[in-house]
Amino acid sequence: MTLALPRPHRDDVRIAVGGLLGGVLLWLFGIHPRVPADPLVQWAAPWAPLVPLAVTAACEPLRRTRPRIGLLVGTLALTLDTVTLGSVVTLVLYTDLIYAAVLYGTPSSARRIPWITGLLTVLGGVVPAALWRDPQALLIGVGVGVVAFAPAATGWVVRNHRDAAEAARLRAEQTALLAEMDRAQAVTVERARMARELHDMVANHLSAIAIHSTAALSLDDPQTSRDALSVIRENSVAGLAEMRRLIGILRESSGDLEPAATPTLDGLATLVEGARANGLDVRLTAGHGRVPAPVELAAYRIVQESLTNALKHAAPGPVRVALRQADGTLRIEVTSSYRPGDTPRAPGSGSGLTGMRERATLLGGGFAAGPEAGRWTVRATLPLAETETETETAARGDSP
């Protein structure tokens, strides 16, 4: 089994080749930091400096992939270099190995190497000066600091800046991701709101059109057909007007269109009259005071959708609509005749109940619908305290 080393960076290979060639060139010209008369190097052959030079240069391709191994082997090579005539290039390459070990090594290595080299710098100056009692011995510590501590400290500073830049980049990416999630969530909330508004505005008219067109087709009575066609025309015109207002709001170039008035509870009487014209026996009981605009709109839409469902699904019989204000809430109750198994008089998607429940939930209220004592009952409780609007909810990015 062979150990596959990572492929070295091409810049590291260039440093190794350039350092080796530069060291050989200095050796050819006889440029060395020590002289042959030095007792420490008299035993060494003239070519001996090339050995630590070649070893140190061979460690350079490991400066990114295996920085600790490169530093360990380079330290052994530098030790060997001290007992030869030496090479300035070997020292320079070794400083780069220390710098790379701090910059590219593990966090533990990056913390320990500056401390170790700093300690060696202090000891290298203090111990010889104390033993030889010669201030000039402090220069040994200076040399150790230049060769070891200075590149280690530089690598530590550069690494800190690099890590800080990486952390800032990650925070920026996270911020952008959160902003995109908030935007998508706000779009989803706004689309749901638009879907509710479109359904509530148009479903009533289309249900009436479907029921009266069925009556006109099934009855062979000119007067009944004429009455049905009149209702169909009124509802189609009203539905088109509602759709035109909504589309006008959505278009950016809708400055020439007058905004539609927001429905209020004062319009319940007109809404009930329209339901009666469509064939429902509606009885309205309203006992409420002044309510906030969001609650007023939600209450109007809930009553409107309840009457639409009664028109499509209810059995013959009275439809009762009751609104009353008590204990800081507006309570809505709509009941209609109910017979299990009856076929709906007009098709529906079932989104009406979902829309009513969403409206009540957005305001912090409650909603329930279902058969009760032989009648279909819709109940909604809307708090009258100031509540957060849907626009504010979408801006915050909170889903309903």
Chain-centre distance for alpha carbon 327? 41
Q: How many CB atoms lie within 10 A of CB 210?
A: 19
Q: Which helix (H) or strand (E) element contains residue 284? A: strand 281-287
Between 50-59 and 67-81, two packed helices, what is the crossing angle to 10 degrees?
A: 170
Q: Which of 82-86, 236-240, 312-316, 342-346 has the lowest mean pLDDT?
A: 342-346
The pairing of strands 318-326 and 281-287 is: parallel
Query: Who wins on pLDDT, 95 or 394?
Result: 95
CB 379 within 8 A of CB 332: yes
pLDDT at res. 374: 80
Nearest CA to 277 among 233, 218, 342?
Answer: 233
pTM score, two decimals? Answer: 0.55
Residues contacting residue 322 through CB under 8 Å, at least 6 positions apart:
284, 285, 286, 332, 333, 334
For residue 396, name the pLDDT band (cuts at 50, 70, 90): very low
d(CA 313, CA 370): 12
The count of C-alpha atoms lying within 13 angstroms of the C-alpha of 158, restricted to the half-sphere facing its C-beta, is 14
pLDDT over 90 at 213, yes or no: no
Q: What is the mean pLDDT of residues 225-233?
A: 73
d(CA 281, CA 289): 26
348-378: per-residue pLDDT in tens? Answer: 556 678 888 888 888 889 999 988 878 889 9
Q: What are phi and psi of 268, to 5 degrees?
A: -65, -35
For residue 260, name the pLDDT band (cuts at 50, 70, 90): low
Residues contacting residue 42 through CB under 8 Å, at least 6 positions apart:
36
Write the secondary structure of 322-386 as one string of H (helix), E (strand) and C (coil).
Answer: EEEEECCEEEEEEEEECCCCCCCCCCCCCHHHHHHHHHHHHCCCEEEEEEECCEEEEEEEEECCC
Nearest CA to 156 among 209, 207, 108?
Answer: 108
266-278: per-residue pLDDT in tens? Answer: 888 888 888 887 7
